[in-house]
Amino acid sequence: TEGYRLYPLPPTPKRDNKVLPEDLKTPDNHVERDPRLIRLTGIHPFNVEAPLSDLYDEGFLTTKDLFYVRNHGPVPRVEDFEVLDWQFSIEGMVENPVKLTLRDLLREYEQFTYPITLVCAGNRRKEQNMVRKTKGFSWGAAGVSTALWTGVGLWDLLGRAMPKRGARYVCFEGADRLPNGYYGTSVKLNWAVDANRGILVAHKMNGEALHPDHGKPLRIVIPGQIGGRSVKWLKRIIVTARPSDNWYHIYDNRVLPTMVDPEQSANLPETWEDERYAIYDLNTNSAICYPAHDERVSLVEKGVEMYKFKGYAYAGGGKRVTRMEVTLDKGKTWRLANITYHEDQYRDAPDGETLYGGRVDMSWREACFCWCFWDLDIPLADLADAKDVMVRAMDDSMMVQPRDMYWSVLGMMNNPWFRVVIHKEDSGHSLRFEHPTQPALMPGGWMERVKKEGGNLSNGLWGEKVSGEDDTNTQKEAVA
């Protein structure tokens, strides 16, 4: 046991997960999983998020059971007895190329443990797909999870490998063999050698060996960047002069300009290869977790005058969410929510303290690597008078989530104000809350409802009818 700590420790994970019946006929028939996870791309490959309330209820740290998964293909099978002999290389433009095993990594390098939130670039994509179908599958708002990661600093590894003059990128390649080759991507070398950025080569998650879905036995974990750069089942670290030419680096995890439509995008190789459109740092985002979708609240229960709204927020690139604001009148006025940054509690750990065999290396850090939670008590009387509740986060560069969705062909980085609609029911005695969407193909949510009613979801008013609205401009969305 870990004894008393100043900071959160992970909730107890389930010990009785089994290989699920639906996985038996897939290449993942060796992977034990939690049946609560919602499958977003059919049975296989395994792309899942937790029910949003379950995710929030686990608290700051997410167990392996409910941590979101983005797999492009079959999970590489690595037996426990093979783990320590897992080999990976550091190669390319370095003075000292090297092949290392996980055993070497444990013996020869300093180990760190700290919390990092991972977010899929497609988090909240279902909302974009409701406006107009993208090329991506439908994440709800639970494509985000946090764990304590233990591993070696990439800056330390690269410092010993000694990058050569002219080197500017670090490519990562995994063991997952896919239709277009092994999964791979790259980040800037400048970031990789910077201890401030905190990129880990990690072998533990919440104090346990990595679960197969999360990269067993070794993966990259990059704080503040989209999950797609944190390569799992790590086999190669390649220092280069140019960004990765891996198919998945070029044709995934990009926000193309909004005017590029799916048909055009097939014939724009230069646009795809333009690094300006590649996503690295996360954008600032937030969601309402409570009230949950379809949650009902009585207006006539004695002594209950408030409802506590709760949710999460995050920013990218080490930035901090500095305020959360809530509107009940479509942005005319805002209320200030409370923010809890559990991550800051790790900064108070005594110097040199270790956890899971790694040093809790947070006291000197100014960057934020994790999500935060927000909450706000709202009088039921105010909710009864309102049509909807929306939230927005602002980060420490004073960038605020926008009212408008930025639609793009891959459907990524969706971060407009998160909106929950309020319905009065039961002769005005209770309220029912409606989230924008439900993940995957699950029905429900005001976006689907408004669209069915003929509303134009991109009219700047969430599809609500405005007298005098020019219907000629709704054409594009109507046919999508």
Q: How far is the CB of 398 from a copy of itself (least distance, A)?
A: 4
Run of H or E residues at 157: helix 154-161
Exactly one of 261, 281, 344, 382 binds a copy of itself (CB under 8 A); that residue is 281
Q: How far is the CB of 196 from a copy of itself (least distance, A)?
A: 7
Is residue 269 near a copy of itself by the rule CB under 8 A? no
Q: How far is the CB of 473 from a copy of itself (least distance, A)?
A: 5
- Closer residue to a copy of itself, CB minimum distance, 42 or 159: 159
Cα-trace Rg, the chain: 23
- The answer to whether 36 and 26 have CB atoms below 8 angstroms apart is no
Q: Taking contact as CB under 8 A, which single stretch among the options 38-46, 74-82, 207-215, 254-262 is the one that binds a copy of itself?
A: 254-262
Is residue 283 near a copy of itself by the rule CB under 8 A? yes
CA distances from 71 to 142, 177, 420 (A): 16, 11, 30
Q: Taking contact as CB under 8 A, which single stretch among the options 5-13, 17-25, 361-369, 371-379 is the one that binds a copy of itself?
A: 361-369
Q: Is 470 tagged catalytic?
A: no
Pick the catalytic residue from 28, 34, 120, 372.
120
SS3 assignment, position 134? coil
C-alpha span between 388 and 447 (Å, rounded): 13
- Closer residue to a copy of itself, CB minimum distance, 445 or 455: 455
Q: Is 372 tagged catalytic?
A: no
Pick the catalytic residue from 213, 252, 388, 395.
252
Q: Is 129 tagged catalytic?
A: no
C-alpha span between 250 and 243 (Å, rounded): 9
Size of the chain in residues: 480
Exactly one of 188, 359, 424, 432 binds a copy of itself (CB under 8 A); that residue is 188
Is residue 244 near a copy of itself by the rule CB under 8 A? no
Could you say which residues in the range 412-451 bind a copy of itself, by CB under 8 A?
412-413, 415
Exactly one of 239, 279, 376, 391 binds a copy of itself (CB under 8 A); that residue is 279
Is residue 241 near a copy of itself by the rule CB under 8 A? no
User: How deeply is 251 buried, as exposed, middle or buried, from its count of CB atoms within 10 A (0-12, 13-18, 19+)?
Assistant: middle
Is residue 457 near a copy of itself by the rule CB under 8 A? no
C-alpha span between 467 and 446 (Å, rounded): 20
Is residue 366 near a copy of itself by the rule CB under 8 A? yes
Is residue 194 near a copy of itself by the rule CB under 8 A? yes
Q: Taking contact as CB under 8 A, which single stretch among the options 80-88, 149-157, 227-235, 466-474 is the one that binds a copy of itself?
A: 466-474
Burial 461-475, CB ≥16 within 10 A → b, else e: ebbbeeeeeeeeebe
478 φ/ψ angles, rounded to the nearest 5 degrees: -65, -35
Is residue 191 near a copy of itself by the rule CB under 8 A? yes
- The answer to whether 44 and 27 have CB atoms below 8 angstroms apart is yes
CA distances from 63 to 80, 214, 341, 471 (A): 20, 11, 19, 48
Pick the catalytic residue from 129, 206, 253, 283.
253
Is residue 400 near a copy of itself by the rule CB under 8 A? yes
Q: How far is the CB of 219 from a copy of itself (least distance, A)?
A: 23
Q: Which residues pair with 205 in a beta bridge?
A: 149, 208
Q: How far is the CB of 317 from a copy of itself (least distance, A)?
A: 6
Q: How far is the CB of 412 from a copy of itself (least distance, A)?
A: 8
String of contacts with a copy of itself for each residue 305-344, x by CB under 8 A: -----------xx-xx-xx-x---x-xxxxxx--------
Exactly one of 277, 295, 342, 384 binds a copy of itself (CB under 8 A); that residue is 277
Contacts 24+ apart (CB under 8 A), 293-296: 293/52, 293/433, 293/434, 293/435, 293/438, 293/444, 293/445, 294/432, 294/433, 294/434, 294/444, 295/432, 295/433, 296/425, 296/430, 296/431, 296/432, 296/433
- The answer to whether 5 and 20 have CB atoms below 8 angstroms apart is no
Q: Taking contact as CB under 8 A, which single stretch among the options 27-35, 67-75, 85-93, 276-284 is the one that binds a copy of itself?
A: 276-284
Is residue 379 near a copy of itself by the rule CB under 8 A? no
Binding footprint of a copy of itself, residue count (CB under 8 A): 54
Is residue 267 near a copy of itself by the rule CB under 8 A? no
**Residue 48: partners with Cβ closer than 8 Å, 6 or more residues away:** 37, 38, 39, 40, 68, 69
Is residue 466 near a copy of itself by the rule CB under 8 A? yes
Exactly one of 398, 427, 443, 452 binds a copy of itself (CB under 8 A); that residue is 398
Tokens of 449: 């409802």
88 φ/ψ angles, rounded to the nearest 5 degrees: -140, 160
CA distances from 67 to 36, 43, 453 (A): 11, 17, 35
- The answer to whether 265 and 409 have CB atoms below 8 angstroms apart is yes
C-alpha span between 28 and 25 (Å, rounded): 8
C-alpha span between 445 and 449 (Å, rounded): 7
Catalytic residue annotation? 120, 252-253
Residues at the contact surface with a copy of itself, assessed by CB under 8 A = 188, 190-191, 194, 196, 255, 257-259, 276-277, 279-284, 316-317, 319-320, 322-323, 325, 329, 331-336, 364-366, 394, 396-404, 406, 412-413, 415, 458, 460, 466-468, 473
